[in-house]
Chain A
């Protein structure tokens, strides 16, 4: 499996952009990068995913480097409700057609007023 590395914690000011980095240097060519977040005592929430190109939706933007060895999740205008643990996950690859997700420790993001 490709592993991911994320900083354990980040602080962000309300109203500012939050840039969450993720390293996945051993990612395979057919593996996608997924981002989820988990607010305390809730199930994870899907944010966004991508393969090669940058992606944007109503929640966030995903920037993937050209060599695909790292990515950045951007929350454009952080709010207090964005305080959560953010998980960067590379989906288990071609040997697993069921698409299992393996969660790491993630990044605890705290948005402050």
Chain B
């Protein structure tokens, strides 16, 4: 299957700082990438859809000014958590959409564990 990477895999930061997470599709081009958040013992929650060259679309309840998404190329999307607070501590996972014919598949990165002190 296609490979998606994330960096960093784990980050610890102080409250009030900003953290950038990178998501890369390594062996395919992805015009669409997605960002999810997962709290302990819960399922994945879609945060936003990132389209190359255009503004991201955020799910209801997700603050676009707090979670900045940039999708500058067909293989890279970044999520910046601005002015992070302890409640932003979570497991952040990206996926990249691989389209082929009439169906398509999303491949997921390994996730980034964010801890805000």
Q: Which residues of A contact B (CB under 8 A)?
A: 32, 34, 36, 38, 41-46, 49, 51, 87, 98-106
Please state if B91 and A41 are interface contacts (CB–CB under 8 Å): yes
Q: State the interface size on chain B (CB cutoff 8 A).
A: 27
With a cutoff of 8 Å between Cβ atoms, the chain B residues found around residue A101 in the complex are 34, 46, 95, 106
Please state if B43 and A104 are interface contacts (CB–CB under 8 Å): yes
Stretch in B61-69, B70-78, B97-105 touching the partner:
B97-105
With a cutoff of 8 Å between Cβ atoms, the chain A residues found around residue B104 in the complex are 99
Tell me the dominant secondary structure on chain A's binding face. Answer: loop
B47 CB to closest chain A CB (Å) equals 11
B36 CB to closest chain A CB (Å) equals 8
With a cutoff of 8 Å between Cβ atoms, the chain B residues found around residue A49 in the complex are 103, 105
Q: Which of A42, A98, A103 contacts B43 (CB 8 A)?
A: A103
Please state if A32 and B43 are interface contacts (CB–CB under 8 Å): no
Answer whether A32 and B110 are a contact pair too, CB < 8 Å, given A101-B46, A105-B43.
Answer: no
A30 CB to closest chain B CB (Å) equals 9
With a cutoff of 8 Å between Cβ atoms, the chain B residues found around residue A36 in the complex are 108
